[in-house]
Amino acid sequence: MQSIFESTTKYRKLILIIFMVVAALSGILMTGVDINYDMTDYLPADTQSTEAITVMEEEFVGDLPNARVLLNNVTLLEALEYKEAILDIPGIRSVEWLDDIFGRDILLSTPLVFFEESITENYFRDQKALLNITIERGLESQAVGKIRDLIKEEDAVAGHAVNTAASQEMAFTEVFNALTILLPVILIILFIATSSWVEPLLYFITIGIAVLINMGTNIFIGEISFITQTVSPILQLAVSLDYAIFLMHTFNDQKETHEPKTAMVNALGIVLPTIAASAATTIVGFSALVFMRFGIGSDLGLNLVKGISLSFLSVIFFLPALTLAGHRLIKKTEHRSFLPKFSKVGRGIVRVRIFFLIIAVLIIIPSYFARSEVDFLYGTGDVAEGTQAGDDMERINEDFGTTNPLVLMVPKSEPGVEVKFTDELAAIPHISGVVSYVTSVGPEIPRAFAPKEVTDQFYSDTYARIILYLDLPAEGERTFQTVNRILDTAERSFETNYLAGESASLLDVKEVIEADTRVVNLIAVAGIFLVILVTFKSLTIPLFLVLTIESAIWINLSFPYYTSSPLSYVGYLIISTIQLGATVDYAILLTNNYLSDRKSLPKKEAMIKTLSENIVAILISAGILSFSGFILGVTSTNPIISELGVLLGRGTFLSFAMVVLVLPALFLMFDRVIEKTTLKSDFYRNRKKEF
């Protein structure tokens, strides 16, 4: 490794050029990365709802609606004219209304009172029309904008595609807004923590280039989720800044006795094992997400693993070259340290360690059980209140209620069988409407005599399509119970059946990611346990470190239970691995220095020295990551991302508290056990009486 380090300093200009050229190209490529805003696309291909969507696309002309348009003060004819105009908008795949059920000519020539009221009231009431539309994926923003230009100011448009359009419009601005607040905060922290005004800028350039390369190389993946697009850059920046800080701190120490090039070579040799161990635990934690069957985990996990790896390479190669190129400027901009002394903090923590341990146990035990009693949400949540999309949704729900459509496809059968089956479906609680050929046209009218545009809505060569309307939200216990009852009813009558719709997809999301939880957590814990085991060559140290961070995770995830707030399951699953992988570094840093100090000092004195010398480094690292999370939570209007930010901010603070206040108590209490179970521990043997 010595020769590699020497080459890094020797060819520093070439290294700077290579990194900057790759970063510039990545910045260009980044603009071409496709962003996916539909979480149901990440379901495994063999789930029921995914297969249902495939069958519907293959067998039927109409698609599952993903938006609704409310037209106020219109006649039937005017509503049909609006429908035709909306159909002409680019990106609109279909518009479903009463004429698709009864036929245009029949609808305009027959008084409305002669139609089934349970059907018509879902589309037209009190001179208000509700159109169900399908917008092509990727064109939501443009299509919704054109629809708003077409309809009147008092009209409204809402739905999943509208929420997606809002997310598309805010995708860049939300990351920009978060970074606008976050970067100055981190800069202030680093200015306080370092001894040069230029040094923090070198950190940002180094990690910023790694972030840019990471986002640009996503072009080779094809597309990434909106969660990855928003969360990944901020997480990569906050988590990997530590590596740059560690290297520069060691370089400054070496520079006191060596010339800059030699000091940097020495610093790389000293700090590489620490940075490598820190990066390895973080990468292992993020890698666990790749094993999720729900593709969001793999999407985010791969991106973070790639990002942390690039940050590691940037710190090891680019930062030394950049530092040596600007070391004179660093020297000219040195300033006194603004940090207070923490020499007495370590002694105080050691004195009251038993108190902290007891408090922690009293909190951890109920938190462990409370976290499993939290109510979960499995979708992306509703758009934020106060936005146009949120206001439109509220207006539509006031006039037509919460309309939750599902599409059930079963094999074509005789009219009598279909009538009996639709009656069974209509009897299921919370189904407010059943639209099929026999309920809209009537079983007495042969299919051959009905208009083709009507029969095409309900029949393919193989399947009959039945549209069900639920008076329930997209998800929740009652919603999922109703979906299961629909599937059970279909299963009793038909061997083959498919159910599509947002609630059907969310039920599959629920079942898939609940199974993922056990696998992901087990892989993350086992992987990090193994890395720590290899790093410290100890059987007990990995147990104490993992238990410390896991306890912080349990406390973090119990907050929604005590505040009676539902928690996004995606956020819950992701934070379980991110908090473990990102904050276990604090425990590793403390442990590494304690074991070193323990070789020459009794246990209490060693812990006092370790805490006094390292609490600042841990506090800076935790402060940056915690601020990053809270700022993400405050600036994002997307419920999942906002919640994930709050979980990250709170979880980082809890991990810091557990590492600084509780882990020292465990080490001192089990000092003899650690010594016996650690290879070549070489602990200080003169056990004189300690205070």
DSSP for 642-660, written as a single string: HHHHHHHHHHHHHHHHIII
Does 177 fall in a domain? no
Give pLDDT, residue 172. Answer: 64
Residues 334 and 218 in one domain: yes
Mean pLDDT for 364-388 is 78
Mean pLDDT for 15-22 is 95
Number of domains in the chain: 4
Residues 494 and 621 in one domain: no
Give pLDDT, residue 610. Answer: 92
Arithmetic mean of pLDDT over the chain:
87
Per-residue pLDDT tens for 208-265? 999 999 999 999 988 898 888 888 888 898 888 888 888 888 888 888 888 988 999 9
Percent pLDDT > 90 in the chain is 39
Residues 393 and 368 in one domain: no
Residues 563 and 684 in one domain: yes
Does 384 fall in a domain? no
Identify which has the larger pLDDT, 160 or 154: 154
Does 186 fall in a domain? no
Mean pLDDT for 610-633 is 88
Mean pLDDT for 17-45 is 89
Does 524 fall in a domain? no
User: At 178, is the pLDDT very low, low, confident or very high (cuts 50, 70, 90)?
Assistant: confident
CATH number, domain with residue 61: 3.30.70
Does 531 fall in a domain? no
Does 362 fall in a domain? yes
Residues 84 and 63 in one domain: yes
Structure tokens at 127: 């001179």
Its domain, for residue 100, covers 44-165
Strands 67-71 vs 34-36: parallel, antiparallel or unpaired = unpaired
In sequence order, which ranges of 217-352 are alpha helices (DSSP H)? 226-255, 260-287, 295-313, 319-325, 327-332, 343-351
User: At 516, is the pLDDT very low, low, confident or very high (cuts 50, 70, 90)?
Assistant: confident
Q: Is a pLDDT exceeding 60 seen at residue 162?
A: yes
**Secondary structure (H, E, C), 520-588:** HHHHHHHHHHHHHHHHHCECCHHHHHHHHHHHHHHHHHHHHHHCCCCEEHHHHHHHHHHHHHHHHHHHH
Query: pTM, whole model, 2 decimals?
Result: 0.80
CATH number, domain with residue 296: 1.20.1640.10
Residues 149 and 63 in one domain: yes
Give the whole-angstrom CA distance, residue 24 versus residue 14. Answer: 15
Give pLDDT, residue 386. Answer: 56
Q: Is a pLDDT exceeding 90 seen at residue 155?
A: yes
Residues 85 and 63 in one domain: yes
Q: Is a pLDDT exceeding 70 seen at residue 62?
A: no
Give the whole-angstrom CA distance, residue 350 versus residue 118. Answer: 71
Mean pLDDT for 328-340 is 80
Amino acid (1-letter code) at residue 436: S
Mean pLDDT for 531-558 is 93
Residues 496 and 559 in one domain: no
Structural contact between residues 244 and 206, judged by C-beta atoms closer than 8 angstroms: yes
Per-residue pLDDT tens for 70-102? 999 999 999 999 999 999 999 998 898 988 888
Residues 23 and 90 in one domain: no
Q: Coil, strand or helix: which one is 186?
A: helix
Identify which has the larger pLDDT, 440 or 151: 151
User: At 171, is the pLDDT very low, low, confident or very high (cuts 50, 70, 90)?
Assistant: low
Nearest partner of 131 among 123, 139, 119, 142, judged by Cα? 123
Does 530 fall in a domain? no
C-alpha distances out from residue 689 to 97, 489, 575, 602, 672, Å? 86, 76, 44, 9, 15
Structural contact between residues 162 and 392, judged by C-beta atoms closer than 8 angstroms: yes
Q: Is a pLDDT exceeding 70 seen at residue 385?
A: no
Residues 610 and 546 in one domain: yes
Does 643 fall in a domain? yes
Residues 465 and 545 in one domain: no
Mean pLDDT for 595-605 is 92
User: At 290, is the pLDDT very low, low, confident or very high (cuts 50, 70, 90)?
Assistant: confident
Give pLDDT, residue 690. Answer: 47
Structure tokens at 523: 């892989």
Structure tokens at 492: 């009793």
Rounded to 10°, the helix 260-287/502-536 angle is 140
Mean pLDDT for 170-189 is 78
Please identify, among 502, 526, 556, the residue that sits at the C-terminal boundary of a domain: 502
Residues 148 and 117 in one domain: yes
